[in-house]
Each structure stands twice: as structure tokens, then as C-alpha cells.
Amino acid sequence: MSELHILDVLAARRGCYISDLNLAPFLRRMALSDLRRMEENAYPFSQWQEAVRYLTGDERDFASVKEIKAFILSETEAKR
């Protein structure tokens, strides 16, 4: 597992601060897309849940990373 937090990695991929991922809609969409493509076991589940909550503002509890990825997919498709 990576020692960096998943949000740090998402921000670094886009060359921005973590807060930018939440403030700029296009960066949020890109970060959610990146998140969906990440390996499920690369980060602790708690970081996955924290990241999706931060990026979407949805505070629901998820049962697994697969459920998080399905949620991200449904969220991104609904906003197209």
C-alpha cells in the first residue's frame, strides 16, 4: 500500500492542491475518474471512503471499494 493518502495522489496527478479537486468541477470529475481506475487494494478502505465523500459531498457508508466504484460510475453518468 502507498504511504501517501489517496487524495494526495489524486491531486498530484492533476498538479493541484487537494482543495482544488473539490472546488473545480472539471478537476473533481477527473479525480473521480482516476479513482475509479485505481487498484482496489492500493489504499485502505477508509481512504477510499474519505475520498469519495470529499469529492462528492455524499456522506453515505459504503460496504466495499467495488460499491464505491459503482457509485462513482453512477454519479458521473448522471451528470453527463
Give residue for cell 492500493.
42
CA dist 45 and 17 (Å) reads 22
Question: Can you give the pTM of this predicted structure?
Answer: 0.89
CA dist 80 and 76 (Å) reads 7
Which residues span the domain enclosing 50?
A: 4-76
Please tell me the total count of domains within the chain.
Answer: 1
- Average pLDDT, rounded, for the chain: 93
Distances (CA, A) of 35 to 21, 78: 12, 17
Question: Stretch 48-70: mean pLDDT, rounded?
Answer: 96
Q: How many CB atoms lie within 10 A of CB 46?
A: 9
4-34 tens-digit pLDDT = 999 999 999 999 999 999 999 999 999 999 9
Confidence of residue 3 (pLDDT cuts 50, 70, 90): confident
